[in-house]
């Protein structure tokens, strides 16, 4: 996966209280943020993620770039549901935060959740899209809850921020239904960008799309199954790593005991 710095923008407006997505639109975002964070980190351990809230009196930076989900979770729990979303301002703050990232080699990406009516003027948003494009910032927008109201403007925004040679920005529109919000994201270009983004966590183990071919699965044809397999394989790798660490600790403890016993039985001069 590409080395990347990502800012996630959450919608904490009054509309996020609605319960058409389990448990509420806001809590659905919390689960989705965790999923995206883990996918980014699994894709490349040097990836970093930050968090911004878009509603209230003004958008607020909840967490600067971090590799620890605990800091993101703290920011989420400290967030108040209030007011209306300031989409353009939030993305401008996100762009400024990306500009000051420590690792300038990292590609820049903003992932935006929108679950309330957009109040920004069309011309201002499209002007911002051109600015983001000029600064090589990709944008993924996850629109849910108020899709009929926002779809046309968000489609125009993504078309403007993209270019014909590199369509690295995406719009994911989600309607209420039995699937959870993060499950929709799991099979979307936000995670499976260019057919491989969500699989990047396997590269260190010498795997990739070929690993799924061993199971008779083509990630481009069945991304959800491929994602489930990837997560399962990662869990197994983590389990094996824990077992190796436990074995090493036991061996070190046994060696320490042997050395102590040997010193106790040494003949006194």
Instruction: Find the CATH number of the domain harbouring 107.
Output: 3.40.50.410
Q: Tell me, what's the pLDDT at 200? A: 35
Q: Are residues 149 and 237 in the same domain?
A: no
Q: Tell me, what's the pLDDT at 30? A: 95
Residue 28 has pLDDT above 60, yes or no: yes
Q: Tell me, what's the pLDDT at 236? A: 53
Average pLDDT over residues 142-166: 93
Q: Which residue has the higher pLDDT, 174 or 225?
A: 174
Average pLDDT over residues 145-158: 95
Task: Name which of 37, 62, 40, 41 is nearest 51 in CA terms.
Answer: 62
> Does any domain span residue 254?
no
| Residue 206 backbone class (left: φ over 0; alpha: ψ -120 to 50; beta: rest) | left
Q: Are residues 233 and 107 in the same domain?
A: no
pLDDT bucket at 205, cuts 50 / 70 / 90: very low
> Does any domain span residue 259?
no
Q: What is the DSSP letter of 23?
A: S
Q: Are residues 146 and 233 in the same domain?
A: no
> Does any domain span residue 265?
no
Q: Are residues 18 and 72 in the same domain?
A: yes
pLDDT bucket at 199, cuts 50 / 70 / 90: very low
Residue 203 has pLDDT above 60, yes or no: no
Distances (CA, A) of 209 to 2, 58, 214, 215, 245: 16, 43, 9, 10, 29
Q: Are residues 123 and 236 in the same domain?
A: no
Average pLDDT over residues 264-268: 61
> Does any domain span residue 269?
no
Residue 127 has pLDDT above 90, yes or no: yes
Average predicted confidence (pLDDT) for the chain: 84
Q: Are residues 123 and 22 in the same domain?
A: yes
What CA–CA distance (Å, rounded) separates 265 from 221?
67
> Does any domain span residue 163?
yes
Structural domain including 234 reads 215-247
Task: Name which of 69, 16, 21 is nearest 184 in CA terms.
Answer: 21
Q: Are residues 121 and 221 in the same domain?
A: no
Beta strand 60-66 pairing with 48-53: antiparallel
User: What pTM was estimated for this model as a whole?
Assistant: 0.73
> Does any domain span residue 153?
yes
What CA–CA distance (Å, rounded) separates 217 from 18?
38
Residue 194 has pLDDT above 90, yes or no: no
Q: Are residues 27 and 62 in the same domain?
A: yes
Q: Are residues 80 and 146 in the same domain?
A: yes
User: Which ranges of 100-166 does DSSP label H, i.e. alpha helix?
Assistant: 122-134, 147-161
Q: Tell me, what's the pLDDT at 169? A: 96
What CA–CA distance (Å, rounded) separates 250 from 242?
12
Q: Are residues 226 and 189 in the same domain?
A: no
> Does any domain span residue 205?
no
Q: Are residues 135 and 181 in the same domain?
A: yes
Residue 142 has pLDDT above 80, yes or no: yes
Task: Name which of 73, 70, 135, 100 is nearest 5 in CA terms.
Answer: 100
Domain count across the chain: 2
């Amino acid at each position: 996966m590409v080395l990347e710095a990502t800012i996630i923008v959450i919608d904490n407006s009054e509309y996020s209280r609605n319960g058409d997505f389990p448990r509420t639109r806001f809590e659905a975002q919390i689960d989705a943020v965790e999923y995206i964070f883990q996918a980014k980190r699994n894709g490349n351990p040097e990836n970093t993620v930050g968090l911004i809230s878009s509603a209230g009196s003004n958008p607020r930076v909840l967490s600067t770039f971090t590799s620890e989900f605990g800091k993101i979770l703290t920011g989420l729990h400290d967030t108040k549901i209030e007011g209306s979303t300031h989409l353009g301002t939030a993305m401008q703050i996100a762009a400024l935060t990306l500009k000051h990232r420590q690792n300038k080699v990292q590609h820049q990406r903003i992932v935006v959740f929108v679950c309330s009516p957009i109040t920004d003027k069309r011309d201002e948003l499209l002007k911002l899209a051109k600015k983001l494009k000029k600064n090589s910032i990709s944008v993924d927008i996850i629109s849910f809850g108020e899709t009929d109201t926002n779809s046309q403007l968000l489609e125009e925004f993504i078309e403007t921020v993209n270019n014909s040679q590199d369509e690295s920005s995406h719009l994911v529109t989600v309607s209420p239904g039995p699937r959870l919000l993060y499950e929709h994201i799991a099979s979307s270009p936000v995670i499976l960008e260019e057919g491989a983004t969500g699989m990047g966590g396997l590269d260190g183990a010498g795997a990739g799309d070929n690993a799924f071919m061993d199971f008779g699965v083509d990630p481009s044809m069945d991304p959800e199954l491929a994602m489930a397999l990837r997560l399962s394989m990662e869990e197994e790798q983590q389990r094996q790593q824990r077992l190796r660490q436990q074995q090493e600790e036991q061996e070190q403890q046994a060696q320490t005991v042997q050395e102590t016993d040997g010193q106790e039985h040494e003949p006194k001069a």
